[in-house]
């Protein structure tokens, strides 16, 4: 609670003086630095342009005005085509177990070493100004500033991708982006062009299953996994190769929103995940992930019932366990969002010696595409000199000139071989990057795809059948919602046919929700395999019971018990939660006369922003709130989203009696503090079928 509210205006302490026209001019004083132009010239007046007399025209000679407006006019750079909406943070990586027997990369061999890094999370389909909570894949990219050069781990929060070959990527993105003739929907896949593409591209269905699952609605960045999608190679000192797929596993566990919450949060707080990251770091509640790898040989890969070079296939953890070898902690928010979060450039081609690429055709397209796009976004080939992209180890090359060249090389030669300057940098065969010496099969070049990439249904089937019943209901309901937005009948019919091949029950549930008859299923290109279920692909089933980093909302008002508020606040924080005080007005006077400032007003902080809610109010406040639709929704939504609710007698008498809140095990009086704290660590999913229709 915020007591002793300071209503003084800090602007009154900024040495104001009155300028022409009577407006205050705030001048530098004491330790305040002078405001200057980009050339360092001190500015005397930043409020008035230079004019020919008090009412005369503005003069072109005003270089302060010209510089300020010119810079403003050019403040925006092209946003990313995909992953435009991003949030990021600085942190460190520490290796906890050496992989020296597999690789020479020091980042994976030197246990205990702290390596600085920068991590960016993003949505894929929406533009930079879209919301944080659409149903979408999330980007999960990490730039490690290793002593052997930058290593960019460019991944997503899902372990597979929609397509197998990079040549289809522009088509995928054009299909999911707003339809070009109408410019909508923004940040949404629920429209005809996306599902038309999906229905004609069966390879997409594994990622589509993940997209329809709760994994597409992360509760926070710190509660989602990260995956590299592709197989990479680790090379030891003798050049021997071991395949690797990497994982970022959140210490808080995988946790998600419900669809109804995601929709409402998008309206109440479009910056929900970004704000959560900012607040968590500022409070010292640092997000953490364990870094794990799946390691396997060429011979082991040949025994898999799928091709690991196919980016639409995951490697089940039950088949190849994830070996935890390190930990990432994000501990500092960017100092400047544009300079760091917006200008950071990730490229999967950035790897240190000891790490190399597999023959995944999607990966090979990305190795070209990511570098190519930075040239347009960041003004030319020198984007690596921007501080957030620059290596933190020594670097030198013979690259010359170009847009935004910031270095001033003092040399006569920028070429090799050369003999004029013996101290200029040269290649180092012993320490330098070496590619895997892969034996190549004899073959004919052609636009072909391996027959081992032909199975498009076995892994989606495994994914669906691995889910808990409530997660399966969420997936079916998501398909019904998305296809319900598709106007073209044959597109819906085609998708239902594919769903039959994945799971007939899933197809029937979606068809029933849409009021459609099931069509015939398309003939698979390869036999469908019933793979063993994998618990690791669940969301609800593996969500830990914990309050750490969750948010509790406490509703208070004039006359509320300070002691009762502090009791709940202290108990929630002791369990690892964060707390926000919500009230009808921005300020309230408690029972002991303390005037507090609420974090949020009820009208601006719906309960979808909290993981559990408490109400501690007096009868006169409860009577007024019982007439307010925002307050009634506050309790109804919390109940409908299966959250814990603790209520006081006044809330019970005047509010709960008016709303459809059944007093089940998760709706408890405030005297049952311990029960509420325990309930708030999870959700009562058994409640969901009682409050909404699920397919």
User: What average pLDDT does range 140-151 have in this prediction?
Assistant: 96
E strands within 348-442? 355-357
pLDDT at 656: 95
Of residues 682 and 15, more confidence is placed in 682
Per-domain residue ranges for the chain?
Answer: 2-73, 86-385, 456-541, 547-691
Answer whether 286's CB lies under 8 Å from 329's CB.
Answer: yes
Whether the per-residue pLDDT at 26 is higher than 80: the answer is no
Confidence of residue 437 (pLDDT cuts 50, 70, 90): confident
Instruction: Please tell me which of 68-77, 313-322, 416-425 the model is most confident about, judged by mean pLDDT.
Output: 313-322
Q: What is the pLDDT of residues 96-129, one digit of tens each?
A: 999 999 999 999 999 999 999 999 999 999 999 9
73: pLDDT confidence band, cut at 50, 70 and 90?
Answer: confident
**Topology of 2-73 in CATH?**
Cytochrome C Oxidase; Chain J (4.10.91)
Q: Which CATH class is domain 86-385?
A: mainly beta
Q: Which of 221, 203, 247, 694 is nearest to 457 (CA)?
A: 203
Does CATH number 3.40.50.880 belong to domain 547-691? yes
Kindly state the average pLDDT of the residues 68-74: 86
| 156 tagged catalytic | yes
**Catalytic member of 90, 150, 156, 679:** 156
CB 508 within 8 A of CB 539: no
Q: Which residues contact 288 (CB under 8 A, 6 or more apart)?
A: 222, 250, 251, 252, 327, 328, 329, 330
Mean pLDDT throughout 646-667? Answer: 96
Q: Is 351 helix (H, G, I), strand (E, B) or coil?
A: coil
- Does the pLDDT at position 331 exceed 90? yes
Confidence of residue 22 (pLDDT cuts 50, 70, 90): low
Rounded mean pLDDT of the chain? 93
Res 400: pLDDT:
83
Asked whether the predicted pLDDT for residue 665 surpasses 80, the reply is yes
Question: Which superfamily is assigned to 456-541 in CATH?
Answer: Catalase, four-helical domain (1.20.1370.20)
Region 451-469 average pLDDT: 97
Residue 12 has what pLDDT?
60
Q: Confidence class of residue 309 from pLDDT cuts 50, 70 and 90?
A: very high
The pTM score is 0.92
Which stretch of DSSP H or E encloses residue 247? strand 241-250
Task: Quickly state the pLDDT bin for 520 (edges 50, 70, 90).
Answer: very high
Give φ, ψ of 546 to 5 degrees: -155, 150
Dihedral (CA of 218, 220, 225, 228) sign: positive
What's the confidence (pLDDT) of residue 394?
A: 85
H helix or E strand, kind and range, residue 25:
strand 24-26
- Tell me the per-residue pLDDT of 230-261, one tens digit each, with 9 for 90 and over: 999 999 999 999 999 999 999 999 999 999 99
What is the rounded distance in angstroms from the CA atom of residue 488 to the CA atom of residue 570? 55
CA 102 to chain centre: 31
pLDDT tops 80 at residue 190: yes
- Checking if the pLDDT of 31 tops 80, the result is no
pLDDT for residue 16 is more than 70: no
Query: Shortest CA distance to 540 belongs to which of 599, 466, 477?
Result: 466
C-alpha pair distances (Å), 96 with each of 93, 117, 151, 253:
10, 16, 18, 20
- For residue 197, what pLDDT is reported? 95
143-154: average pLDDT: 96
| pLDDT (0 to 100) of residue 24 | 59
Q: pLDDT tens digits, residue range 36-58?
A: 888 888 888 888 889 898 888 88
Give the whole-number percent of the chain exceeding pLDDT 90: 78
What average pLDDT does this structure show over 502-510?
Answer: 98
pLDDT of res. 18: 52
Residue 17's SS3 state is: strand
pLDDT reported for residue 443 = 66
Catalytic site includes residue 4 = no
């Amino acid at each position: 609670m915020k007591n002793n509210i300071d209503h003084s205006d800090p602007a009154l302490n900024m040495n104001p003086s009155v300028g022409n026209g009577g407006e205050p001019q705030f001048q530098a004083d004491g330790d305040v630095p002078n405001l200057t132009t980009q050339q360092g010239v001190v500015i005397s007046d930043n409020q008035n342009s230079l004019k020919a007399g008090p009412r005369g025209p503005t003069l072109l000679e005003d270089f302060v005005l010209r510089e300020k407006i010119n810079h403003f006019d050019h403040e925006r750079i092209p946003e990313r085509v995909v992953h435009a909406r991003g949030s990021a943070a600085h942190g460190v990586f520490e290796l906890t177990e050496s992989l020296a027997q597999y690789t020479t990369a020091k980042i994976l061999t030197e246990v205990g070493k702290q390596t600085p890094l920068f991590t960016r999370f993003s949505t894929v389909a929406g533009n930079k100004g879209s919301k944080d909570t659409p149903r979408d894949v999330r980007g999960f990219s990490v730039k490690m500033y290793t002593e052997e050069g930058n290593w960019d781990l460019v991944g997503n929060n899902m372990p597979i991708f929609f397509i197998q070959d990079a040549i289809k990527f522009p088509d995928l993105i054009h299909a999911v982006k707003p339809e070009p003739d109408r410019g909508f929907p923004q940040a949404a896949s629920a429209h005809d062009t996306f599902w038309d593409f999906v229905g004609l591209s069966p390879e997409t269905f594994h990622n589509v299953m993940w997209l329809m699952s709760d994994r597409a609605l992360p509760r926070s960045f710190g509660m989602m996994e990260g995956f590299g999608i592709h197989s990479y190679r680790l090379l030891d000192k003798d050049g021997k190769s071991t395949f690797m797929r990497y994982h970022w596993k959140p210490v808080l566990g995988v946790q998600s929103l419900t669809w109804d919450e995601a929709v409402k949060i998008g309206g109440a707080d479009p910056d929900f995940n970004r704000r959560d990251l900012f607040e968590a770091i500022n409070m010292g509640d640092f997000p953490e992930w364990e870094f794990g790898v799946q390691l396997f040989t060429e011979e082991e890969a040949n025994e898999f019932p799928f091709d690991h070079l196919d980016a639409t296939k995951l490697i089940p953890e039950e088949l190849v366990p994830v070996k935890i070898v390190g930990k990432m902690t994000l501990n500092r928010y960017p100092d400047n969002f544009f300079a760091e979060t917006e200008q950071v450039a990730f490229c999967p081609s950035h790897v240190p010696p000891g790490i190399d690429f597999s023959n995944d055709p999607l990966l090979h397209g990305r190795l070209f595409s990511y570098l190519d796009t930075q040239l347009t976004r960041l003004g030319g080939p020198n984007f690596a000199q921007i501080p957030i992209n620059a290596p933190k180890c020594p670097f030198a090359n013979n690259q010359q000139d170009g847009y935004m060249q910031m270095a001033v090389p003092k040399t006569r030669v920028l070429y090799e071989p050369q003999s004029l300057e013996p101290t200029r940098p040269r290649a180092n065969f012993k320490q330098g990057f070496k590619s895997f010496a892969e034996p190549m099969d004899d073959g004919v070049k052609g636009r072909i795809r391996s027959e081992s990439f032909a199975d498009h249904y076995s892994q989606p089937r495994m994914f669906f059948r691995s889910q808990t019943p409530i997660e399966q209901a969420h997936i079916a309901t998501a398909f019904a919602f998305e296809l319900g937005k598709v106007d073209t009948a044959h597109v819906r019919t085609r998708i239902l046919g594919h769903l039959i091949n994945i799971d007939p029950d899933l197809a029937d549930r979606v068809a029933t929700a849409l009021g459609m008859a099931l069509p015939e299923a398309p003939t698979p290109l390869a036999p469908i395999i019933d793979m063993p279920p994998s618990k690791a692909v669940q969301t609800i089933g593996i969500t830990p019971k914990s309050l750490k980093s969750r948010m509790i909302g406490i509703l208070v008002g004039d006359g509320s018990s300070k002691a009762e508020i502090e009791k709940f606040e202290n108990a929630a924080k002791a369990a690892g939660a964060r707390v926000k005080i919500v009230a009808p007005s921005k300020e309230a006077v408690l029972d002991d006369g303390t005037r507090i400032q609420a974090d949020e007003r009820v009208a601006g902080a719906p309960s979808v922003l909290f993981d559990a809610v408490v109400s501690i109010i007096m009868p006169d406040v409860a009577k007024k709130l019982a007439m307010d639709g925002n307050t009634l929704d506050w309790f109804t939504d919390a109940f409908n989203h299966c959250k814990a609710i603790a209520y006081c007698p006044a809330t019970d008498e005047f509010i709960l009696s008016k709303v459809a809140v059944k007093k089940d095990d998760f709706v408890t009086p405030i005297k049952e503090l311990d029960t509420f704290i325990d309930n708030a660590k999870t959700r009562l999913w058994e409640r969901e079928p009682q409050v909404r229709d699920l397919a």
